[in-house]
Amino acid sequence: MPTRNDVIQSLQFPGIYALAPINTSGDGRYRITYEFETAQPGDLWYSFTGWTAFGGAEKAAVRAALATVEQFLNVDFVEVSGASDPDLNFGKVTTGFGIAGLGGPQYSSLNVRITRYDGFAVFDRTIGLASGQQGLILHEVGHALGLDHTFEGVPLDPAFDTNHYSLMSYTDDPTPGITDTTRMMVYDLVALQDIWGAADFNGGDTAYLGPRVAGIDVVWDSGGTDSLDARGWGRGVELDLRGGAFSEWAGREDMAIAFDADIESAYGSAYGDTLIGNALANILRGGASGDLLRGTTGDDRLEGQTGNDTLRGGRGADVVDGGEGNDTVKGTRGRDTVRGGEGDDLVKGGGGRDTLFGDAGDDDLRGWRAMDRLDGGTGDDSLRGGPGPDTFVFRPGYDTDTITDFGNGNDSLAVTGFGDAEAVMGFAREAGSDVIFDFGAGDRLIIEDTTLTAVEDALTT
C-alpha cells in the first residue's frame, strides 16, 4: 500500500511537490478568486479559441463543486467579474481531439515557497455542465489546484491507480457496485491538503451511521469525539478508523477515512464485525455475534460483548474485555488489562505488565514476558504466567484452577479469603510433583511442578 508521501508525490505536479505549501491548516483560509471567462484572458498562458459563455445552471454546477472542496481545504473561493488577474480562470472553449477538459497551475516562487499562483480549468464548449458532469468539473479543478494525473510524473502504484482512490485516475473503480465517480477521493484530499491546508469541518461530536452518499463516502472530520456506529445496521461490517483506510458497510469498500481525520470510536452491529482502531485512544465495541476487534498504537478499550470474539489490544495500555461468549483476547504490547468475560476464554497478555482476568467460565490465561497478574475468576481455569515474576490470584468461589509454570521467574501467589498464610498452607498437600490446595466447597488450586516450601515462600494473603 502506498505511504502518505507516496500518494502526495504521485498526485502533485512535480514542481508543486518540490516547493513548500502555499497554505497550512494553522493559517487563515486562503482566498482564491475565480472568474467565468467569455474570451481569452490576458493572464492565461494557454491560448484557446471558441470561447463560449457559461449558462446559469453551468455556473451553479461549478460553484457547487467548489463548495465541496471548501469542506476539506483551508481556502475560500471568491467569484469575481471583470478582474484582470483572477487566481482561477474557468472557460468553455474548443479543446479539440475529443478532450473533455483541461486544467493546470502556473506559479512563481521565492526560495522554496510559492509566492504567486494562477490556475485554470476549461471544458469543451460542446459539453453541457449543468448536470451529470460533477466528476469532470472536480477533475479539472484538481488540476487547477495542483494535482497531476495518477499515472504521470511519479506514477502511483498501478494497483491503486483507479477512481477508487483518486478522481485524477483514468481507470474506473473496479469495485462491484461502485460506479459513482463524482467527488474527490481519499488520495485527492491528502494531496490537496498538503498544498492548501485542511479545513475546519465537522468540529463537533459526529456519529457516522453508514455511507452518506452513493459510491464511496470520504470522511473528513477535523474535531470532536467521533464514531463509526453500526449498531442499527442490518448486516456485519468492517470498520477501520485509520487514516487512508476503507470500511465496508454493505459488503464492499464504501467509506474511507481521510488521512488526517481523527475518528475515536467504532461500534459494531448485531452481526459478525471487524473493528480496527487507529493511533488514538479508541473505543471498539462489538455486538451480539462473533467479532474481531483490533487496537493499534493508542490506549484503547476493546469490548467484545456477546458472541465468540477475538480481541487484540495493540501497542498501547489497553483495556480488553471479551464479554459473554468463548473469546480469544490478547493485550499484545503495552501495560494492558485483559478480561475474558463470561464463557470459556483464551486470555493472553503481551510484552507489557499485564493484568489478566478470566472471569466466569473455564478459561486459559497466558501471560508473556513481563510481570503479569493472572486472576482466573470463577470456573476451572488454567494459568500460565510465562517468563518474568508473575502473580497468581485465587479467591473463594474460583472453583478449580491450575497453575502450570509456577516459579518460572520468582512468581508470587495471592490467596485471599481463606485466612492468614498459616491457615492457607493448612489446606495444602504435595501430590507427586504438584501442590494441591483443597479449600472445600468445590474450590481447589493445583500448582504443577513445585514444592510446599516454594509455595509457602511465595504466598501472600
pLDDT at 234 > cutoff 80 = yes
For position 149, what pLDDT does the model report? 98
Share of the chain above pLDDT 70, in %: 100
The model's pLDDT over 413-437, given as tens digits with 9 standing for 90+, comes to: 999 999 999 999 999 999 999 999 9
What grid cell was written down for 58? 453551468
For position 409, what pLDDT does the model report? 66
Cβ contacts of residue 364 below 8 Å, gap of 6+? 345, 346, 347, 381, 382, 384
What's the average model confidence in pLDDT over 73-97? 95
Cα–chain center distance at 232:
21
The model's pLDDT over 125-143, given as tens digits with 9 standing for 90+, comes to: 999 999 999 999 999 999 9
CB 309 within 8 A of CB 274: no
Element (H, E) at 19: none
Rounded distance, CA 279 to CA 241, Å? 9
What grid cell was written down for 340? 475474558
What grid cell was written down for 99? 478532450
The model's pLDDT over 176-207, given as tens digits with 9 standing for 90+, comes to: 877 777 899 999 999 999 999 999 999 899 99
What's the average model confidence in pLDDT over 386-392? 90
Q: Output the average pLDDT for the chain.
A: 94
Cβ contacts of residue 6 below 8 Å, gap of 6+? 156, 157
The model's pLDDT over 50-69, given as tens digits with 9 standing for 90+, comes to: 999 999 999 999 999 999 99
Q: Which of 318, 319, 290 is nearest to 304 (CA)?
A: 290
pTM comes to: 0.89
- β-pairing verdict for 227-229 and 246-248: unpaired
pLDDT at 368 > cutoff 90 = no
